[in-house]
């Protein structure tokens, strides 16, 4: 089977030792205080969030958090959130709006969890609500992919004013495996799927869906996590300064138009 460059990116994005949201939060932000729970059902460990400082500015930071080892991954459900995870994220975003803190979301999920409980508690509703509320949240939002950006489960943290992807990450409608099995009835054709699906940072940048590709150390973020964090930190600090100086009405109008123009048709 021929290896595609897109498939190599998939492999780097999924590395077990790739720095996770928790790592970046601690490396980039100061005084992180975690806030837990959705206030109605549970505290979903697939998503973490809280208050911290970025360059001295109080912000709300939220991230889908894979585990750095198997034990942690099981505890975090491999960063596949249940509805309570999305509801916690929304609670923290509304809180950020109230206290006029910018929001930063770090996306890293194979997708929203497909389980019995997730359906019973309204996975679709939880994601939909986040999309709607993020589109009108009266505070700046920066979102970006730090690993896998899988489907609606990723987008539910991705309606933002600035959207980035690290160099070796993917953002897609579903996993290449899922795509291959649905359209070609053969999940082993995932490498080919990765290619045709156009899921790399470069692809999305060319489609005007993301604003910036963040460089990674050679070989990917896992090879030098500290350096990867530094590169991301430079970007976040630069963007947040610009955003907090813009009037919120301007920001909201631009956020709406940013998504409104997406789509190809005749």
Partner 1 sequence: MLNGIFRKPRYAQIKGRKDENVDNKPKIPAGMWIKCKACKGSIYHQDIKKNHGICPTCNYHFPLAARSRIHQILDRGSWKELDKDMESVNPLGFDSYNRKLEKAKDISKQNEAVLTGVGKINKIKLVIGVMDSRFMMGSMGSVVGEKISRAIEYATEHRLPLILFTASGGARMQEGIFSLMQMAKTSAALARHDDNGLLYITVLTNPTTGGVTASFAMLGDIIIAEPGALVGFAGPRVIEQTIKQKLPRGFQQSEFLQEHGMIDMIVERRELRDKLSSLLLLHQPKEGDIDV
Chain contacts with partner 1 (rule: CB under 8 A): 112-116, 118-125, 127-129, 131-133, 135-136, 151-152, 155-156, 158-159, 171-174, 179, 182-183, 196-199, 203-204, 207, 209, 255-256, 259-260, 262-266
Q: Least separation, in Å, of the C-beta of 174 and partner 1?
A: 7
Nearer to partner 1, 154 or 231 (CB): 154
Q: Least separation, in Å, of the C-beta of 125 and partner 1?
A: 4
Nearer to partner 1, 28 or 204 (CB): 204
Query: Got the DSSP string for 166-180?
Result: ETT-EEESS-HHHHH
User: If 0-12 CB within 10 Å is exposed, 13-18 middle and 19+ buried, where does residue 15 land?
Assistant: middle
Strands (E), 19-110: 30-34, 47-54, 57-64, 103-109
Q: Least separation, in Å, of the C-beta of 197 and partner 1?
A: 5
Nearer to partner 1, 37 or 115 (CB): 115
Nearer to partner 1, 86 or 235 (CB): 86
**Which H or E run contains 93?**
helix 83-98
Bridge partners of residue 162, in order along the sequence: 142
Q: Least separation, in Å, of the C-beta of 94 and partner 1?
A: 14
Which candidate, 94, 91, 101, 15, places its Cα nearest to that of 47?
91
Nearer to partner 1, 24 or 179 (CB): 179
Is residue 130 within 8 A of residue 86, CB to CB? The reply is: yes
Q: Least separation, in Å, of the C-beta of 28 and partner 1?
A: 26
Is residue 242 within 8 A of residue 35, CB to CB? The reply is: no
For residue 99, give every residue at least 6 positions away whose Cβ sits within 8 Å of its Cβ, in sequence order, or none: 58
Nearer to partner 1, 116 or 218 (CB): 116
Nearer to partner 1, 25 or 251 (CB): 251
User: If 0-12 CB within 10 Å is exposed, 13-18 middle and 19+ buried, where does residue 181 land?
Assistant: middle
Q: Least separation, in Å, of the C-beta of 44 and partner 1?
A: 15
Would you state the structure tokens that stand for residue 32, as one six-digit string? 């992180």
Q: Least separation, in Å, of the C-beta of 134 and partner 1?
A: 8
């Amino acid at each position: 089977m021929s290896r595609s460059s897109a498939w190599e990116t998939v492999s780097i994005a999924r590395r077990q030792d790739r720095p996770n949201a928790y790592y970046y939060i601690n490396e980039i932000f100061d005084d992180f205080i975690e806030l837990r729970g959705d206030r109605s059902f549970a505290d979903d460990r697939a998503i973490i969030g809280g208050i911290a400082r970025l360059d001295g500015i109080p912000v709300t930071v939220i991230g889908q958090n894979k585990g750095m080892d198997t034990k942690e991954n099981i505890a975090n459900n491999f960063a596949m959130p249940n509805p309570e995870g999305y509801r916690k994220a929304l609670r923290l975003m509304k809180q950020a709006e109230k206290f006029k803190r910018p929001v930063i979301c770090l996306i890293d999920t194979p997708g929203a969890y497909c389980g019995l409980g997730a359906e019973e508690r309204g996975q679709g509703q939880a994601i939909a609500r986040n999309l709607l509320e993020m589109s009108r949240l009266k505070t700046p939002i920066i979102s970006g992919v730090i690993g896998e950006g899988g489907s609606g489960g990723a987008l539910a943290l991705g309606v933002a004013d600035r959207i980035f992807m690290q160099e070796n990450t993917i953002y897609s409608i579903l996993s290449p495996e899922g795509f291959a099995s649905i359209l070609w009835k053969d999940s082993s054709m995932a490498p080919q799927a990765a290619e045709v699906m156009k899921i790399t940072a470069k692809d999305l940048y060319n489609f005007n869906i993301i604003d910036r590709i963040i460089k990674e150390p050679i070989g990917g973020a896992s090879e030098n996590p500290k350096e990867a964090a530094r590169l991301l930190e430079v970007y976040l600090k630069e963007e947040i300064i610009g955003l907090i100086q813009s009037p919120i009405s301007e920001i909201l109008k631009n956020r709406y138009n940013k998504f409104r123009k997406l789509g190809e048709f005749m």
